Chain A
Amino acid sequence: MSIRSKQIYIAFQTIVQKEIIRFTRIWSQTLLPPAITMTLYFLIFGKLIGSQIHNISGYTYMQYIVPGLVMMSVMTNAYVNTASSFFGAKFSKSIEELMVAPVPNYIILFGFTFGGMLRGLLVGFIVILISLLFTHLHIYNFWIVISMATLSSMLFSVAGLLNGIFAKKFDDVSFIPTFILTPLTYLGGVFYSINQLPPFWKNVSIFNPIVNIVDTFRYGILGISDVNIVGSFVMVCAFFVVLCLWSLVLLQRGTGMRT
């Protein structure tokens, strides 16, 4: 490894460590709330209401919604982590620490993305552990579970970075999660199978990336799916590449950072 490569690796490591320290230091704001929210989801939708709902594809309603709720937590937390951390750095001007240093833009991109991904996966793991208090799960395909969780957390982490780059005030950081991400998630097949929808809405739902992510992850756990698994991976990878390239262009221009 050349000296420059070592320097770049240390810079990447520093950004990631800083992110880990940040979200674990404020664990009561980052790790605890999704654990409480998901416990309530499992209790109310899974146990109380779910017990009145018949099985879907041979699984209880509780078992059916667990993968969706896990992915909902993973995506939301990956997104929010990067958006708030990057905007926070802009707000406190500590982003200038990175800008004056010889840190390549792709390292800023991947450092923040990796940090967000780790928070998303950690929260996902916590939610899986909680779900085991309510139901039993078996993993149908471990690699699909891991790869889809990782890829989608990276995708939403980059999306959060874009939000952080464009955000000018704190309201801008919560706008996308509230008005776009949450509706897409609720309409993303977390609580129902898209096969239950009328044909028109089923066809529309296929273009919702969250439907593909949730259903592919569900396939990895339960072995049932309403979408094309390979198509979902291609879609997530394509979105990830496009958002990465967009972020790099913005970082290069200094959008939202340099005057």
Chain B
Amino acid sequence: MHALNVKNLTKQYKNGLIALKGINLEVNEGDFFALLGQNGAGKSTTIGIISSLVNKTAGSVSIFGHDMDTDLDAAKLCLGVVPQEMNFNPFEKVAHIIINQAGYYGIPRKIAEARTERYLKKMGIWEKRDQIALRLSGGMKRRLMIARALVNEPKLLILDEPTAGVDIELRHSLWEFLAELNAQGTTIILTTHYLEEAENLCKNLAIIDHGEIIENANMKSLLNRLHIQTMILDLEKPITQLPPLDEYHGRLLDDSTLEIRVHKNQSLNTLFADLTRKGLNIVSLRNKTNRLEELFVNLIAESRGS
């Protein structure tokens, strides 16, 4: 079954801006799905329509088979959303925000309180339960929104840039938590600007640009399409001029850092041997960007015809 099925979804705002140009998207049950795109590409509009915060112009959305036009309540019962921006009353107590959200889903108070404790503990902010939300740090506010989205135990969880502005330690603990949640059967859709995050977590992805889906594929098969990777090599000794590198494209970033483009078919062993022969000893190596990021930039450029 599809956790999410989007057909010909179109959104034109009153000012004439066409944010979505008839997109189609299918997300399978149990998937960990990345929806990627640059700012203004249409990601948040898509999520807004799915979560009933934005009116669509045309098309249809169904969640676990429940059409949002004809079976909205059932569709909403399957859904949890963590928005990009804070959307809670900052003067309410942390625990009340979660308990009230459970109430809106019709969850009896006792169960709501138990779940509030469970998810606030899971998010590491249980000790803040009696504080007003305004006093939480940025990272804690984001964790609060995740706990709130989980209180109805949704089958489909959508997270719109959940790790934006979050410190590294928290980001890693969130990744672990989301992976665990997905392993337990929750379908997750994630939008993020940290492509490393998408590459590490997601099984499938779609890339949206100017309101159109320009790529919808399995993560592994997409990464296999990356023919050229750009590497950054740190040299043991500084050099002033780069010797000819024959079949490799390279340039000096500074006197001891070399950027080099390596084709998928070229062996790194051969590369190192060639460089050593030319008197260049390498002390460390890293990708210039992560692989998905490189691919993402290429795909966006291709779709724009540059």
Contact = CB atoms under 8 A, between A and B. Distances in A.
Nearest to B76: A102
Contact of B85 (A7, A21, A93): A93
Contact of A254 (B55, B100, B103, B105): B55
Interface in B28-80: 48, 51-55, 72-74, 76-77, 79
A8 B77 CA distance: 12
B85 A14 contact: no
A258 B54 contact: yes
Contact of B101 (A4, A8, A97, A258): A97
B78 to A, nearest CB: 10
A177 to B, nearest CB: 22
Interface in A81-127: 88-89, 92-94, 96-104
B101 A7 contact: no
B87 interface: yes
B53 A258 contact: yes
A4 B105 CA distance: 10
A18 B89 CA distance: 11
B53 A100 contact: yes
A259 B17 CA distance: 12
B101 A92 contact: no
A102 B72 contact: yes
Contacts of A259: 13-14, 48, 54-55
A96 B76 CA distance: 13
Contacts of B77: 102
B76 A13 contact: no
The range of chain B's interface size is 35 or more
Contact of A10 (B54, B83, B107): B107
Contacts of A149: none
B17 to A, nearest CB: 11
Dominant SS at the B interface? loop
Interface residues of A, number: 31
A11 interface: yes
Identify which of B48, B55, B74, B103 gathers the most chain A CB atoms within 10 Å of its CB. Answer: B103
Nearest to A254: B55
B106 A6 contact: yes
B279 interface: no
Nearest to A111: B104
Nearest to A93: B87
Contacts of A6: 106
Contact of A102 (B53, B55, B96, B106): B106
Contacts of A98: 104
A13 B100 CA distance: 10
B104 A92 contact: no
Contacts of B106: 4, 6-11, 102
15 contacts: A6-B106, A9-B106, A15-B104, A18-B96, A18-B100, A21-B96, A93-B87, A93-B88, A94-B88, A96-B51, A98-B104, A99-B51, A102-B72, A102-B76, A259-B55
